[in-house]
Amino acid sequence: MTSEVGTIARGNRPNEVDALMLTTRTGGAYIPPHRLRQMQQSITDNSSEAYQRITWEALKKSINGLINKVNTSNVKMIIPELFGENLIRGRGLYCRSMMKAQTASLPFTPVYAAVTAVVNTKLPAVGALLLTRLVVQFRRAFRRNDKTSCLATTTFIAHLTNQLVAHEILALQILALLLERPTDDSVEIAVGFMREVGAHLANVSPKANNAIYERFRAVLHEGEIDKRIQYMIEVLFQVRKDKYKDNPAVIKELDLVEEEDQITHNISLDDDDLDTEDMLNIFKYDPDYTENEEKYNAIKSEILGDDESEDESGSSGSGESESEEESDEEEELKVVDETNADIIELRRKIYLTVMSSVNFEEACHKLMKLHVPEGHEIELCNMVIECCSQERTYLKYYGLMAERFCKLNRTWVDNFVHCFEEVYNTIHRYETNRLPCLACFPKTIQRTLGLPSTIGQVSVLVR
pLDDT tens digits, one per residue of 247-292: 899 999 999 998 888 999 999 998 888 888 889 889 888 888 888 8
CA distance 320 to 218: 72
- Does residue 201 surpass a pLDDT of 60? yes
67 in Cβ contact with 98 (< 8 Å) = yes
pLDDT tens digits, one per residue of 355-383: 888 888 888 888 888 878 887 888 888 88
Position 272 scores a pLDDT of 86
Which phi-psi region, left, alpha or beta, contains residue 222 (left: φ > 0; alpha: ψ -120 to 50)? alpha
Which phi-psi region, left, alpha or beta, contains residue 31 (left: φ > 0; alpha: ψ -120 to 50)? beta
Domain edges within the chain: 45-280, 341-459
- Does residue 66 surpass a pLDDT of 50? yes
457 in Cβ contact with 439 (< 8 Å) = no
DSSP, res 265: B
- Does residue 422 surpass a pLDDT of 90? no
63 in Cβ contact with 94 (< 8 Å) = yes
* Multiple choice CATH, 45-280, 3.40.50.720, 3.40.50.1110, 1.25.40.180, 3.30.1490.20: 1.25.40.180
**How many angstroms separate the Cα of 437 from the Cα of each of 33, 367, 385?**
75, 22, 9
Please state, for a pLDDT cut of 70, what percent of the chain lies above it. 81
Overall average pLDDT of the 298-313 stretch: 65
CA distance 428 to 461: 10
Q: pLDDT class for 29, splitting at 50, 70, 90?
A: low
- Does residue 109 surpass a pLDDT of 80? yes
pLDDT mean across residues, the chain: 82
Position 430 scores a pLDDT of 81
pTM attached to this predicted model: 0.62
* Best CA proximity match to 132, nearest among 275, 343, 305, 30: 275
229 in Cβ contact with 187 (< 8 Å) = yes
CA-based radius of gyration for the chain: 35
Residues facing 166 on adjacent strands: 265
pLDDT tens digits, one per residue of 115-154: 999 999 999 999 999 999 999 999 999 999 999 999 999 9
- Could you please state the CATH topology (level 3) that the domain comprising 341-459 is classified under: 1.25.40
Residues facing 265 on adjacent strands: 166
Position 398 scores a pLDDT of 86
Surface-to-core class of residue 296, CB atoms within 10 Å of its CB (0-12 exposed, 13-18 middle, 19+ buried): middle
- Does residue 443 surpass a pLDDT of 90? no
Overall average pLDDT of the 179-208 stretch: 93
